[in-house]
Amino acid sequence: MGEAEGEVMAKSRKHRTEGELQQVAKDVTYEIQMLIASASAAGPVCVSPLVYRLPESTRGMALESFLLHFRNLRAFLCPSLQTTGPDDVLASDFLGEPKPQDVGDSNKIRSDKQRLDRMLAHLSYSRKEYISTGNAAWAVGRMALGVLQEVEVFLGRIPEHMRSWFPERAVLAKEQTEIAGWVPAISATTIYPVVHRADSFLPHGGTELKQKQKGEK
**For residues 216 and 214, what is the distance between their CA atoms, to the nearest angstrom?**
5
The pLDDT value given to residue 10 = 54
Higher-pLDDT residue of 19 and 113 is 19
Query: Per-residue pLDDT tens for 143-201?
Result: 999 999 999 999 999 999 999 999 999 999 999 999 988 855 544 444 443 333 333 33
Work out the angle at residue 37's Cα, subtended by the Cα atoms of residues 184 and 121, and round it to the nearest 5 degrees: 90
pLDDT of res. 183: 59
User: Do the Cβ atoms of 151 and 172 come closer than 8 Å?
Assistant: yes
Taking only the tens place, the pLDDT of each residue in 87-121 is 999 999 999 999 999 998 999 999 888 888 888 87
| Spatial distance between the Cα atoms of 94 and 96, rounded to a whole number of angstroms | 5
Residues 6+ apart with CB under 8 A from 182: 44, 141
Angle 45-5-14 from CA coordinates, rounded to 5°: 105
